[in-house]
Amino acid sequence: MGAHSKDIVAGLLSMAGIELNGDRPFDPRIHNEALYDRVLARGTLGLGEAYMDAWWDCDALDELACRLMRADIFDHVRLDFPTLLEIARSRLLNLPRLKAGEVGERHYDIGNELYEAMLDKRMIYSCGYWPGAGSLDQAQEQKLDLICRKIGLTEGQHILDIGSGWGGLMMYAAETYGASATGVTISRRQAGFANARRGNLPVETLLQDYQTLDGRFDHIVSVGMFEHVGYKNYRRFLQKAASLLAEDGLFVLHTIGGNRTVTHGDPWMNRYIFPNGMVPSLAQIAAAAQDVFVIEDVHNIGAGYDPTLMAWHENFVAAWPTLASRYGERFHRMWRYYLMLMAGAFRSRRLEVWQIVMSKNGVPGGYRSVR
């Protein structure tokens, strides 16, 4: 295709106000002319892999991503057979259940030192709540407190955290509200780290699939885990949560979401960052909740993921000299691309973050929204 491919890509980029080899920070600099065929054939997968291979660079990847997504550029790019096959597999097979442990091994288990360097002091790997916050630490602590207030947490109550990560939310609930907590994760490194740093707090992290849990909890929270469930399992997830929740308890589901309904994830993100991941729509969540939960409140805090991701990127870049020998330059480019791509996605408002409060039987007199 050659020169013709370049003309097509240049035309697509012009729809987003982007110029090949331009002089603005968000204009890409091309180092390998084979890029154009690769992108037209493989869409987002080809673009991301080409960046990892150093075929192109950009000073402001976040803004480039934002402009591409606002203009829906990739709706105009055809996909080759391997990419289409990857999408078809996610629709036909229930990959998030068939390969439930893969994301733990390939993403969360790649090294606690990476996440310690990148995240806040409590190691919260989800969107911060930024109103009035002056730092990443403050934004994350405000988010934890917001969740505790949304469930009406009181001293002596026992909460379940589905997808509890490094245990930061559970420890905050114990320290600040006098609660006890049980968390579940499928990441060995997360479970070991969380249990090692809990001290004397009444919290425990289990290395366990949430579907195998038993018991009854005063409240349930799930932060940044629903994106790994898969659309075929949304209802099953909510039914399991309902079976574990006290009759008068509340469930806060904190999840990334999309403005359109999809049944597959982005091919590049699925291959290199979150295997078998996909983001739900509100329509999918509402359909899955029918006759299972009463949806009491929906709060969109997604605009706060842009500054959260930018803060993570700043921390990652600052820490890279201490991480380089372990991870290598291709990982460096991959991880920066991931963080900047996501920042641009949230800046474009093509992705959101919803905190959805649910009850089993409806809050008597109605739920009072907490902000």
Residue-wise pLDDT for 18-45, tens only, equals 999 999 999 999 999 999 999 999 999 9
Residue 57 lies inside a defined structural domain of this protein: yes
Shared domain check, 255 and 122: yes
Rounded average pLDDT over 130-159: 98
pLDDT of residue 300: 98
pLDDT of residue 59: 98
Give the CATH number, domain containing residue 158.
Answer: 3.40.50.150
DSSP track, 91-132 = HHS-HHHHTTTHHIIIIITS-HHHHHHHS-TT---S----TT
Shared domain check, 157 and 13: no
Strands 219-223 and 158-162, by their bridges, are parallel
Residue 188 lies inside a defined structural domain of this protein: yes
| 359 bridge partner residues | 250, 294
- Give the C-alpha separation, 78 to 351, whole Å: 22
Shared domain check, 71 and 126: no
- Give the C-alpha separation, 280 to 147, whole Å: 20
Shared domain check, 140 and 29: no
Q: Which of 79, 112, 133 is the last residue of a domain?
A: 79
Confidence of residue 110 (pLDDT cuts 50, 70, 90): confident
- Give the C-alpha separation, 354 to 126, whole Å: 12
Residue of 366, 326, 351 whose CA lies nearest to 266: 351
Shared domain check, 50 and 128: no
pLDDT of residue 38: 94
pLDDT of residue 111: 84
pLDDT of residue 195: 97
Residue 108 lies inside a defined structural domain of this protein: yes
- Give the C-alpha separation, 274 to 34, whole Å: 27
pLDDT of residue 95: 57
Give Rg (Cα) of the chain: 21
Residue 367 lies inside a defined structural domain of this protein: no
Range of the structural domain that residue 66 is part of: 3-79
* pLDDT > 80? residue 79: no
Residue 364 lies inside a defined structural domain of this protein: no
Number of domains in the chain: 2
The model carries a pTM of 0.92
DSSP track, 18-58 = --TT-SSTTS-EES-TTHHHHHHHHHHHHHHHHHHTTSEE-
pLDDT of residue 108: 75
Segment (H or E) for 161? strand 158-162
* pLDDT > 60? residue 80: no
Residue 316 lies inside a defined structural domain of this protein: yes
Digit-coded pLDDT (tens) for 303-352: 999 999 999 999 999 999 999 999 999 999 999 999 999 999 999 999 99
* pLDDT > 60? residue 90: no
Shared domain check, 181 and 67: no
Q: Which residues contact 22 (CB under 8 A, 6 or more apart)?
A: none
User: What are the CA-CA distances from residue 78 to residues 37, 74, 359 (Å)?
Assistant: 11, 8, 43
Shared domain check, 218 and 343: yes
Shared domain check, 138 and 50: no
Within 10 Å of residue 252's Cβ, how many Cβ atoms? 23
Residue 226 lies inside a defined structural domain of this protein: yes
Shared domain check, 130 and 11: no
Shared domain check, 27 and 113: no
Shared domain check, 118 and 29: no
Mean pLDDT of the chain: 93
Q: Which of 79, 114, 141 is the last residue of a domain?
A: 79
Digit-coded pLDDT (tens) for 295-317: 999 999 999 999 999 999 999 99
Residue 90 lies inside a defined structural domain of this protein: no
Q: Which of 79, 113, 140 is the last residue of a domain?
A: 79
* pLDDT > 90? residue 96: no
Rounded average pLDDT over 67-92: 67
- Give the C-alpha separation, 58 to 56, whole Å: 7
Digit-coded pLDDT (tens) for 175-216: 999 999 999 999 999 999 999 999 999 999 999 999 999 999
* pLDDT > 80? residue 77: no
Shared domain check, 237 and 346: yes
Furthest-apart CA pair in the chain: how many Å?
A: 68
pLDDT of residue 140: 98
